Structure 1
Amino acid sequence: MTIPLPFRKRAQRDEVRQDWIDERLREARIVVADVVNHSDHLIRLACNVLVQHGETPAEREDARILLVVLDARSPGRAGRHRPDPEVRR
């Protein structure tokens, strides 16, 4: 015989988690809608959220394109993780 433990109901936890995700998506959309007044770092973060969790394919694609534009705007950042071709042995 097992005694039931007093855990929260799964539905309540899932509802709270979904509310948190919805709030992060709302914040990401606000940042992307007001690109001029936010830093590139914050815009990249918001775009990454929308690429992963956007509601529609168009929203995800627009966020991905904005990431490409940001990378083109700062070309030094895009090659930061690539090995230097002159250092080869």
Structure 2
Amino acid sequence: MSPADFSSAWPTERLAEARAVLADVAHHSDPLIRLACDVLIRHGETADEREAAQRLLVVVDARRPVQRAQREDGGRVHS
């Protein structure tokens, strides 16, 4: 593969990978979901795709403090 082929294939391949991650979001880690969202926010083909990735990123980031608190608490539930 020549350098020109590599550079032209990169965006298409990364977008496809990002879309695949978000299509199966339940089976991927939050860091990978964040990365996929970042790719689509910056390089998504449509405004709808970029906006959907931005909304998902907000959701993933919003649940992070809860997960951190549960880890620090040993997973105990408080009443």
Shorter chain as normaliser: what TM range? Answer: 0.7 to 0.9
Structure 1 residue 32, shift from structure 2 partner: 0.5
Partner of residue 73 from structure 1, selected from 39, 63, 68:
63
**Whose helix fraction is larger, Structure 1's or Structure 2's?**
2
Q: How many residues align?
A: 66
**Higher RCO (CA 8 Å, separation ≥ 6 residues):** 2
Corresponding position of 1:51: 41
Larger CA Rg, structure 1 vs 2:
1
- Amino acid of the residue matched to residue 23 of structure 2? A
The two structures have a TM-score, normalised by structure 1, of: 0.67
In the TM superposition, structure 1's runs of 4+ consecutive aligned residues that sit over 2 Å from their partners are 12-16
Partner Cα separation in structure 1 for residue 33 and residue 20 of structure 2: 10
Structure 2: unaligned runs, 5 residues or longer? 68-79
Is residue 30 of structure 1 aligned with residue 20 of structure 2? yes
